[in-house]
């Protein structure tokens, strides 16, 4: 067994299954090359392919087999792409959250003080600070042409360069191009005062990056498993800080641009912070005092549109007051709506899941269950409900029979049609069979089918991996999603199972009982006779193959 296969065996051992097979799928397909270059390539590819943790937050990559197939597809056909569910994508999202927030703090300050040559924004240190986000945005712009995306309607991960570029142009390309613009035109070449002002005004469009900030924050929260309340509170606090900062700078700039005298009480937030920090350095907590004072004075700027004791004297200044007051009011209404959404979230499916999970933990403590059993129960609960608790029967009861059939067909048709018995069946019969399926979840090392016991049902593997064992206990093979086991039990009543089936990882299966199948197919006696014939042929072939293997084993 080579090194890659050993890694796969260790991975199954991590799940809790001791695998004895040698022909296992490789966790990472072999990468050509040798020496240091091969190690670097392997590290980069591992960072860019789909991560194992995607099983926790995706709906179509919930098993080891599905992840391996996705990695094979990427390495064979799209090697130098970045998978949207990879570690590289997660780390870059976290970096961009910080970079975007910094840029949205820097941009209003540059816009406010661009015409003040003696201020700190013209220092070398500040220029370096402003150029760092631009470098990241440029890298971000290029990387997005090589980063795949998840196509929700088609339920597929797109890694084709042409489709990636087409989707990127339709969505975020313009915003990312604006983000790459430097904050100061005169940092690049000499320009007139009017050109510099226009360029500074255009640079304020970088606040469209709030859309990107929201997207990356949401993705990171999903991947890292951050709960709904923490995510929403973080979003609200970030939006309040950005609005407060940008509005203070904009209103103060407009006051100065209109020719009004800016009162000392209503200085821009950044300058106020440094001045208060210097004046009140004798205080026990000067930084905290400076922040509180700056926040207070900045809030007065927003509330009064930077007018304090001085009253507006022109129509433009009155219009400025109107704009500042209404913009602030609309924003506060939006924040209030977000807060109400957080409070209303107690009725959401995610909150209900957390509530039920807490009750489950209390129950397990009351029963004094061992730690290992508690982990298995919580794993089952998480996999079954996918961190969102809902009453499926009640939901299906609110829709029509036709819609229920369409939902079942969408979820199970491919699984049922993969069975040779069920191919080319009439649609009405296929619908009846699918309506009889019952979903079941099995944890690692759970016995699904036991050898030498009467068979009364068959199983379709929706997600996960199962191991097939012979009567003697020898591991024969693995079956992954899309496969099925135990189909002969539907046809021949009372037949004994010829093998055991055990879950290798957390698996979701659909069970079809013999009595339900017979009831569904009874109006079609000709089809039932044909299925009996196919089953008998398959059993005879399996028996001959087993006899042949026993003879070969005896010769050795």
431-449, pLDDT tens digit by residue? 888 888 888 999 988 999 9
Non-local CB neighbours of 119 within 8 Å, separated by 6+ positions: 113
User: Cα separation of 426 and 444, whole Å?
Assistant: 37
Phi then psi dihedrals of residue 163, to 5 deg: -70, -35
Please tell me the predicted confidence (pLDDT) of residue 474.
80
The better pLDDT of the pair 229, 516 is held by 516
pLDDT at 192: 63
Which tokens belong to 251? 């209103």
Give me the residue label for tokens 């919930």: 62
Query: Stretch 379-393: mean pLDDT, rounded?
Result: 75
What are the DSSP E strand ranges found in 143-228?
Answer: 149-151, 156-158
Both ends of the chain: CA-CA distance in Å? 22
Tell whether the model's pLDDT for residue 374 goes beyond 70: yes
pLDDT value at residue 285: 54
DSSP, res 453: S
- At 512, which helix (H) or strand (E)? strand 507-513
* pLDDT at 276 (0 to 100): 46
Using CA atoms, how far apart are residues 151 and 40, in angstroms rounded to an integer? 30
Most confident option among 27-36, 118-127, 229-238, 419-428: 229-238
Average pLDDT, the chain: 77
Q: Looking at residue 141, what is its pLDDT?
A: 95
Give percent above pLDDT 70 in the chain.
Answer: 72
- State residue 463's pLDDT score: 86
User: Where are the chain's structural domains?
Assistant: 31-226, 349-390, 400-555
CA dihedral 24, 27, 30, 33 (to 10 degrees): -150
Cβ partners under 8 Å of residue 539, min gap 6: 488, 492
CB neighbour burial string for 426-462, b if at least 16 within 10 angstroms, e if fewer: eeeebbbbbebbeeebbbbebebbebeeebbbbbbbb
Rounded average pLDDT over 363-384: 86
CB 120 within 8 A of CB 126: yes
Q: Taking the CA of residue 403 as centre, how many other CA atoms within 13 Å lie in the half-sphere pointing to its CB?
A: 6
The confidence band for 552, taking pLDDT boundaries of 50, 70 and 90, is low
Most distant pair of Cα atoms in the chain: their distance: 107
Which pLDDT score, from 0 to 100, does residue 274 have?
Answer: 44
pLDDT band at 204 (very low <50, low <70, confident <90, very high): confident
Q: Which CATH superfamily is domain 400-555 in?
A: Jelly Rolls (2.60.120.10)
**Mean pLDDT lowest among 298-312, 387-401, 446-460, 506-520:** 298-312
For 213-244, how does the pLDDT look when each residue is reduced to its tens digit (9 = 90+)? 999 998 898 888 787 778 888 998 898 888 88
Residue 500, classed as helix, strand or coil, is strand
51 versus 342: the higher-pLDDT residue is 51
311 pLDDT tier (thresholds 50, 70, 90):
low
Per-residue pLDDT band at 342 (split at 50, 70, 90): confident
Give the model's confidence band at 48: pLDDT under 50 very low, under 70 low, under 90 confident, else very high.
very high
Contacts of 524 (CB under 8 A, 6+ apart): 426, 429
pLDDT in tens, 132-163: 999 999 999 999 999 999 988 777 899 999 99
Three-state DSSP string of 104-153: HHHHHHHHHHCCCCCCHHHCHHHHHHHHHHHHHHHHHHHHHCCECEEECC
User: What pLDDT, on the 0 to 100 scale, is given for residue 385?
Assistant: 77
SS3 label, residue 237: helix
More confident residue, 365 or 225: 365
pLDDT digits (tens, 9 = 90+) for 2-40: 454 555 565 666 666 777 666 666 666 565 656 777 778
pLDDT of residue 109: 83
Give the separation between CA 158 and CA 84, rounded to whole angstroms: 9
| Residue 175, pLDDT score | 92
């Amino acid at each position: 067994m080579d090194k890659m296969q050993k890694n796969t065996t260790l991975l199954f051992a991590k799940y809790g299954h001791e695998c004895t097979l040698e022909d296992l799928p490789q966790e990472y397909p072999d990468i050509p090359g040798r020496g240091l270059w091969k190690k670097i390539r392997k590290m980069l590819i591992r960072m860019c392919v789909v991560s194992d943790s995607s099983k926790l937050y995706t709906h179509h990559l919930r098993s080891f087999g599905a992840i391996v197939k996705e990695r094979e597809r990427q390495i064979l056909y799209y090697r130098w792409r970045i998978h949207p569910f990879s570690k590289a994508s997660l780390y870059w999202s976290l970096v961009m959250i910080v970079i975007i927030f910094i840029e949205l703090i820097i941009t209003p300050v540059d816009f406010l003080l661009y015409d003040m040559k003696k201020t700190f924004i013209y220092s070398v240190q500040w220029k370096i600070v402003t150029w760092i986000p631009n470098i990241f945005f440029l890298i971000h712009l290029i990387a997005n042409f090589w980063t795949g995306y998840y196509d929700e309607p088609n339920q597929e991960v797109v890694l084709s360069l042409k489709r990636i570029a087409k989707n990127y142009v339709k969505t975020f390309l313009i915003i990312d191009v604006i983000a790459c613009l430097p904050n100061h035109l005169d940092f690049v070449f000499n320009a007139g005062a009017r050109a510099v002002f226009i360029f500074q005004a255009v640079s304020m469009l970088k606040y469209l990056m709030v859309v990107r900030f929201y997207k990356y924050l949401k993705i990171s929260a999903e991947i890292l498993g951050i709960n709904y309340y923490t995510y929403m509170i973080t979003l609200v606090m970030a939006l309040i800080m950005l609005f407060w900062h940008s509005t203070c700078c904009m209103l103060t700039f407009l006051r100065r641009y209109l020719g009004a005298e800016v009162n000392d009480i209503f200085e821009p937030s950044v300058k106020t912070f440094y001045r208060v920090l210097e004046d009140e350095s004798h205080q026990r907590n000067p930084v905290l005092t400076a922040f509180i004072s700056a926040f207070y004075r900045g809030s007065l700027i927003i509330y009064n549109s930077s007018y304090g004791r001085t009253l507006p004297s022109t129509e433009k200044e009155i219009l400025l007051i109107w704009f500042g007051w209404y913009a602030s009011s609309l924003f506060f209404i939006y924040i209030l709506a977000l807060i109400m959404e957080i409070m209303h979230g107690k009725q959401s499916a995610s909150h209900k899941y957390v509530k039920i999970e807490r009750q489950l933990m209390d129950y397990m403590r009351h029963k004094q269950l061992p730690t290992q059993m508690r982990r298995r129960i919580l794993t089952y609960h998480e996999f079954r409900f996918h961190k969102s608790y809902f009453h499926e029967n009640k939901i299906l009861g609110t829709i029509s029979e036709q819609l229920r059939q369409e939902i079942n067909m969408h979820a199970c048709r491919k699984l049922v049609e993969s069975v040779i018995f069920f191919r080319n069946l009439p649609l009405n019969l296929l619908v009846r069979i699918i309506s009889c399926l019952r979903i079941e979840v099995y944890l690692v090392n759970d016995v699904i089918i036991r050898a030498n016991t009467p068979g009364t049902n068959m199983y379709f593997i929706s997600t996960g991996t199962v191991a097939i064992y012979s009567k003697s206990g020898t591991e024969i093979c693995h079956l992954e999603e899309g496969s099925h086991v135990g189909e002969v039990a539907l046809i021949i009543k009372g037949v004994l199972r010829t093998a055991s089936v055990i879950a290798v990882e957390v698996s979701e299966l659909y069970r079809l009982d013999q009595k339900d199948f017979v009831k569904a197919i009874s109006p079609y006696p000709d089809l039932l006779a044909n299925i009996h014939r196919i089953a008998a042929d398959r059993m005879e072939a399996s028996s001959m193959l087993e006899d042949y293997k026993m003879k070969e084993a005896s010769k050795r």
